[in-house]
Copies of this chain bind each other. A is one copy, B any other.
Amino acid sequence: MRKAVVLLSGGLDSATVLALALRQGYACHALSVDYGQRHRVELDAAVRVAHTLGAVEQKTIRIDLTAFGGSALTDSSIAVPTGGVQKTGIPVTYVPARNTIMLSLAIAWAEVLVADDLFFGANAVDYSGYPDCRPEYMRAFERMANLATKAAVEGRRLTLHTPIIAMSKAQIIEEGVKLGVDYGMTVSCYQADAEGRACGECDSCRLRRAGFEAAGVADPTRYFTAPA
């Protein structure tokens, strides 16, 4: 059975990607990163999702990106926008180099596990504002990774799979429902409370709710305020 490292945040997208990787027959090692995010409760969701879907193991690595700040998710003095998804520019919820840091940790673990496959739930459709969610970034990361490691020098090749990068949120949800993912276990909200209940107003909540609506799937999200 081929091993894969799957980045698992505890949100909807990465849960779907884990289900897809398992369906493809990979023995999945789920990696979550506690980077000091506001919505740290998503990490509890990651543990539940990994266990329920059937990952071989799940690890949470801690790295304190609040030391750098520069994002509403890692600096408590910057508020999470709740007025609606902005149409242009990069939102303040973008965390500098976060995806690069998480993928770097994934290649480290992959090398130790002797795994040649990484799965990452980046999505370029509903989060088009984030530079490190673009397909050209993914290709550049994969190319770099294939020069970075001992495995690469020894002739093995690492593949970075981004199976949902071109899907709409509705398509991701439809795919996950087919695979039996219980999205009630996942936490997407940028300011979820300690019980994992969602605000219903941040970009992540809005995109998620619109996805359930567009897919015609009942939204299992627990909200702490009534959705707008």
Q: Please report A residues at the B interface, Cβ cutoff 8 Å.
A: 59, 61-65, 67-70, 90, 94-101, 104-105, 107-109, 111-112, 131-132, 134, 136-137, 140-141, 143-145, 147-150, 152-153
Apart from A90-B153, A97-B104, A131-B150, 6 more pairs, CB < 8 Å = A62-B62, A70-B111, A96-B108, A97-B111, A100-B107, A100-B148
What's the Cα separation between A70 and B69 when bound, in Å? 31
What's the Cα separation between A108 and B143 when bound, in Å? 20
Closest to A144 in B: B140
21 A–B contacts, CB within 8 A, in A order? A61-B63, A63-B105, A68-B109, A68-B112, A70-B112, A96-B107, A96-B112, A96-B150, A97-B104, A98-B108, A100-B108, A100-B145, A100-B148, A101-B105, A104-B104, A131-B148, A131-B150, A131-B153, A132-B147, A134-B147, A144-B144
What's the Cα separation between A201 and B150 when bound, in Å? 24
With a cutoff of 8 Å between Cβ atoms, the chain B residues found around residue A149 in the complex are: 96-97, 131-132
The one of B65, B137, B147, B153 in contact with A108, judged by C-beta atoms closer than 8 angstroms, is B65
Closest to A134 in B: B147
With a cutoff of 8 Å between Cβ atoms, the chain B residues found around residue A67 in the complex are: 59, 61
Decide: A64 and B65 in contact? CB cutoff 8 A.
no
